[in-house]
Amino acid sequence: MDTQAVLTFWGCRGSISSPGYDTKIFGGNTPCITVEYKDQVLIFDAGTGIRNVGNYLIEKSKQRPINAHLFISHFHGDHVEGLPFFRPLYQLSNRFSIYGEGKDDLSFADVLRNRIKPPYFPVELDTLFAAGISYHEVCEKQAIVIDEDMSVMPIRLIHPNGAIGFRIQIGDLSIAYVTDHEHEIGRISPLLVESLQNTDILIHDAQYDREAINNGKQGWGHSAWEDVVDFAHAVNAGQLFLFHHDPESNDEILFERQRLARQARPATSIAREGLVVALPVQSKKLIRDDSSVAIDQLIRLSNALEFKKAVRKATLFSDNLGQESALLIIRIDDIMTNRVFDFDFSQSLAIKAIALQAINHLRMNPSIGRYRHDELYAYEDGNELAIILHDIKDPDNAQMVVTRIAAILSREFVVAGENVHLEFSIGVLNFPKTEAKKPGFGEHALQLQHRALDILEV
């Protein structure tokens, strides 16, 4: 039974995309997030991040028609520039409802048409897209009902040329998407305080800090993170995600911002491209940071034998279906932090964080192979994580997953509010067993391959 909604960040950068070596952790794509619940897919904004949403939806749909709702906050380039590169719009069988507000005398659809046409783009919007599209004008505070569980409330924001935010309600869970908006320094917007009381998840424009606003950015339509933190306190928000990062804010700046913001308000994270957050819908249990995001998929087994048996059973399942599978074992060798041992750091939190990184990756690349939620095992009091990939189309796929996950885990990331760097090893074993590829991921990789073999021969 579905009791969770899934929030995914596909682009968190404001103003202009900023890919590059020094933005690779928080990402360079412009705004786009998705909220999925049961069969519903809600997309917010069509910055460059929407291109990857398209690829994801096409993979996920497995040739079945895609139905989704797309909400546009406003027409500044960073919020609509990805639209022509959203592939599902080119497929005849797909259906989209697109929501936004018109400008002056023009309807919402006409403003979009004026943007996607020669000479700005080679083809006009109406001939470009084959999918069935309905355009909807939104009105402030008039809820759009998606189904009996879901609704979306548009909220007026303060931004040059206007913008709207959205409060999404799913059962008792609320998620607010608030970009681009300017709170005056030290004077948070009273109307927003009223509209966004008690929101569980608050995603909010925090492009600048107060110093930048005082030095020329006032009136540009974006907020200082210090005021956003105050705002989150004022509305009694759950988890806060600072969003719409300035193109000049590199990873180092954003990590420092996260550190400072968490001193003022621990339940605060810098939104990061690729971050997937699973949110329970029935209860109001809130997440507290990246690493404590509910990974209820992760099954903790209390001893090594249990661990072996569970993994063996899962690969047999694949065998019986005649599918090729692979077993990934990830082991933590060491955990390094800036502040050595001055906090109560537990290995199991790190395993959770690793699992989350791996799930994010697999979820965004379903063509590699499928994993089942109920088959993600950690060996409790140990330092190992087992991921079983079913139905891998190509034995090299498993090796590819290892390479990518190794690259992700090599970066510094946040566990329990601390920046950590992990030393780890990954072993992979394909089934049916193929010649071992050169391991090369951590010094113990070969040893872990044997470990995987040992587990499977229990």
- Please enumerate in sequence order all residues whose Cβ is within 8 A of that of 100, keeping only pairs 6 or more positions apart, or say none: 71, 72, 73, 74, 75, 108, 111, 112, 135, 136, 137, 138, 164
Residue 66 φ/ψ, nearest 5 degrees: -100, 130
- Count of other CB atoms within 10 angstroms of residue 334: 9
Residue placing its CB nearer to Zn ion in the complex, 11 or 14: 14
Shortest Å, Cβ 79 to Zn ion = 6
Residues in contact with 120: Cβ distance below 8 Å, sequence separation at least 6, in sequence order: none
Per-residue contact flags (x/-) with Zn ion for residues 11 to 50, judged by CB under 5 A: ---x------------------------------------
Q: Which stretch binds Zn ion (CB under 5 A): 1-9, 172-180, 191-199, 330-338?
A: 172-180
Q: Which stretch binds Zn ion (CB under 5 A): 133-141, 179-187, 351-359, 419-427?
A: 179-187
Coil/strand/helix, residue 285: coil
Question: How many Å separate Cα 113 from the centre of its chain?
Answer: 29
3-state secondary structure of 21: helix
Rounded CA-CA distance 141/150 in Å is 15
**Site of tokens 């079913």:** 390
User: What is the C-alpha separation between 256 and 277, in angstroms, rounded?
Assistant: 22
* Cis preceding-peptide flag for 119 (omega within 30 of 0): yes
Q: Closest CB to Zn ion among 246 and 418?
A: 246
CB closer to Zn ion, 78 vs 101: 78
Nearest CA to 268 out of 237, 239, 228, 225 is that of: 239
- By CB under 5 A, name the one of 45, 180, 246, 375 that touches Zn ion: 180
Give the position of tokens 């199991």.
Answer: 348
Residue nearest to Zn ion (CB): 76
C-alpha distance from residue 390 to each of 71, 301, 393, 404, 432 (Å): 35, 21, 9, 18, 12
Query: Which of these segments, 68-76, 113-121, 133-141, 251-259, binds Zn ion (CB under 5 A)?
Result: 68-76
35 strand-pairing partners: 7, 42
- Which listed range, 10-18, 139-147, 255-263, 326-334, lies at the site for Zn ion (CB under 5 A)? 10-18
In whole angstroms, the minimum distance from the beta carbon of 220 to Zn ion comes to 9
| Size of the residue set binding Zn ion (CB under 5 A) | 4
76 binds Zn ion, rule: CB under 5 A: yes
Residue of the chain from 78, 182, 246, 289 that contacts Zn ion (CB under 5 A): 78
Q: How far is the CB of 76 from Zn ion (least distance, A)?
A: 3
Q: Which is nearer to Zn ion, 213 or 359 (CB)?
A: 213
The answer to whether the beta carbons of residues 161 and 103 sit under 8 Å apart is yes
Q: Closest separation between CB of residue 70 and Zn ion, Å?
A: 16
Segment lying near Zn ion (by CB under 5 A), choices 6-14, 139-147, 285-293, 385-393: 6-14
Distance in Å, CB of 306 to Zn ion, minimum: 50
Q: Nearer to Zn ion by C-beta: 222 or 262?
A: 222
Smallest separation, CB 205 to Zn ion (Å)? 8
Name residue 133's beta-bridge partners: 96
Phi/psi region, residue 287 (left: phi>0; alpha: psi -120 to 50; beta: rest), is beta
Q: How far apart are CA 351 and CA 345, in angstroms?
A: 12
Q: Does 246 bind Zn ion (CB under 5 A)?
A: no
For Zn ion, the closer CB: 180 or 209: 180
Round to whole Å and give the CA distance between 222 and 226: 12
Least distance from C-beta 153 to Zn ion, angstroms?
20
Give the binding range for Zn ion (CB under 5 A) out of 74-82, 145-153, 182-190, 265-273.
74-82
DSSP E strand boundaries for 302-375: 325-337
**By CB under 5 A, is residue 230 in contact with Zn ion?**
no
- Closer Cβ to Zn ion, 11 or 442, answer by number: 11
Nearer to Zn ion, 81 or 180 (CB): 180
Which helix H or strand E contains 126, and what residues bound it?
A: helix 125-128
Cis peptide before 432 (omega within 30 of 0): yes
Distance set, CA 64 to CA 43, 50, 372 (Å)? 19, 20, 21
Q: Which is nearer to Zn ion, 243 or 379 (CB)?
A: 243
Site residues for Zn ion per CB under 5 A: 14, 76, 78, 180
